[in-house]
Amino acid sequence: MTRIYRGLIWLMLVVFLAGCSSISPYTYQSAGIGGAVGAGAGALIDKNNRWRGAMIGALGGAALGGAVSEVTRRGVEKDRQQGYGYYQSPGYNYQTQGDYTDPWWN
């Protein structure tokens, strides 16, 4: 029975690590910063048991920091693919720069 549990634990570990392979390094940084801020806030909030507050705050802060960073990264990537944020002035063709004629000087 213990072999089955060990096998399931290893399987879950492999699945969790494979799911993290496409995450940006900025997500890890944001999760670390969120965890540190959450640990400090949790230690200050829980007056009875500061370690418990720090652990709960660190888990919540890391999850929130990583999630916000990943959602932001995916949104920026989607905008980049759709071409948002690209300003093209009217009357100027970026493909044929030599053929530009200014209507004010003609």
Domain boundaries, the chain: 23-79
Distance CA 53, CA 92 (A): 59
Q: What percent of the chain has pLDDT over 70?
A: 69
Residues sharing a CB contact under 8 Å with residue 70, sequence separation 6 or more, in sequence order: 23, 24, 27
Q: What is the value of pTM for the model shown?
A: 0.57
pLDDT over threshold 60, residue 103: no
Q: Which helix or strand (DSSP H or E) is residue 57 part of?
A: helix 50-82
- Per-residue tokens: 31: 């999760």
Q: What is the pLDDT of residue 2?
A: 81
pLDDT digits (tens, 9 = 90+) for 49-89: 999 999 999 999 999 998 999 888 888 888 777 765 555 55
